[in-house]
Amino acid sequence: MPQMTTSQARVIDPVLSSVAQGFSHNAFVGASLFPVVPVDQRGGKIITFGKEDFMLYNTARAPGANTGRVQVGVASGSYVLEQHALEGKLPFEIKDDAMAVPGIDMQSRTVRSVQNIIAMRLEKARADLARNTANYDAGNSITLAGADQWSDYGATSDPGDDIENARETIRGKTGKRPNTLVLGAAVYSKLRRHPKILSFFQYSAGSGQLVNTAMLAQYFEIANVQVGDAAYASDAGVFTDIWGKDVVLAFTETADLDAGGTPTFGYTYQLRDFPVVEEPYYDRNTKSWIFPVTDEVQPVVASNVAGYVIKAAVA
């Protein structure tokens, strides 16, 4: 008898798996830069995109002439999905007491709590990729300092000019304007009070209020503006912002990798139908129900010319 595969051996709880797969957290913004694309294998080739994928090609063909050919994306390097698993523990006393109160489902809450922890790790992995200048083409990054930083409200500091330069850098190399802007939480706090941005809105409706993300989208002419509010704690209880004091611009667009994908800044490869919750089991020693949650993912930069990072945007 052939040995069972890991997927065959795993007994899945479809209801609780749907809870894990439907999980979302407003503080997590990494998916806007690295949208999820399902894959059927735990390893394979990374589909990457260069300048060639954004070029204008001559498609005209004379009678009897050969038809031109293009390949969108190339297999460059390999990906191996990382498995991340964690078990949620629900003491039976809490479960029984909670179920006695209508509307409280501690099983789903336990799964969501575990998924939050796993998703936090993925958010940091995405941020680490996006904030690393080594992952960008030459000229697609800048580090601000001193009076140029957006936390300095003097004449030299100009967020609009810096973003426009980044926009034009991406457009000049891809023919696409970036459609996504991710701001570190500290950056957003300073931008909301920046005199040049406030001046832009001084005669508009709602003037006198602090700037919000919708107004920044209008100011920078970028459709999707996200603020990375997520932070993680050290063992000593010190919190660190996952997105730091940086700014990331990108052109992002998703397509099925079976069709070759589409030129975009990044993807998150995820095993199809994951995350999953295995069938809960009862641990007699702790008198608790255990809910195993597993995800298999890897974020990758697909086009280093379709993104731009501004480091140390604020002091």
Cα(first)–Cα(last) distance of the chain, in Å? 64
Which long-range CB contacts under 8 A does 66-69 form with residues at least 24 apart? none
Task: Answer whether residue 315 shows pLDDT above 90.
Answer: yes
Closest Cα to residue 142, out of 162, 116, 158? 162
In a domain, 177, yes or no: yes
5 found inside a domain: no
Q: Report the distance separating Cα 136 and Cα 243, nearest Å.
A: 17
Q: Which of 31, 74, 67, 77 is nearest to 51 (CA)?
A: 74
Q: Can you tell me the mean pLDDT for 204-216?
A: 77
Q: Are strands 239-241 and 231-233 parallel, antiparallel or unpaired?
A: antiparallel
Question: Does residue 306 belong to any structural domain of this protein?
Answer: yes
User: What is the DSSP track for 47-96?
Assistant: EE--GGGG--------TTPPPP----SEEEEEEEPEEEEEEEEEEHHHHH
Largest CA distance in the chain: 79
Q: Residue 247 maps to which CATH number?
A: 3.90.1690.10
More reliable by pLDDT, 100 or 292: 292
* pLDDT exceeds 60 at position 201: yes
Contact (CB, 8 A) for 31 and 268: yes
More confident residue, 253 or 158: 158
pLDDT band of residue 80 (cuts 50, 70, 90) is confident
| Residue 8, pLDDT above cutoff 90 | no
Mean pLDDT on 43-49: 67
Give the model's pLDDT for residue 120.
92
Asked whether residue 154 is domain-assigned, the answer is yes
Domain interval for residue 284: 11-21+35-55+80-311
Domain annotation covers residue 45 = yes
Query: Residue 205: inside a domain, yes or no?
Result: yes
Tell which wins on pLDDT, 284 or 258: 284
177-192 tens-digit pLDDT = 999 999 999 999 999 9
How many distinct structural domains can be found in the chain?
Answer: 1
Is residue 72 a part of any domain in this protein? no
- Read off the pLDDT of residues 151-171 as tens digits, 9 standing for 90 and up: 999 999 999 999 999 999 999
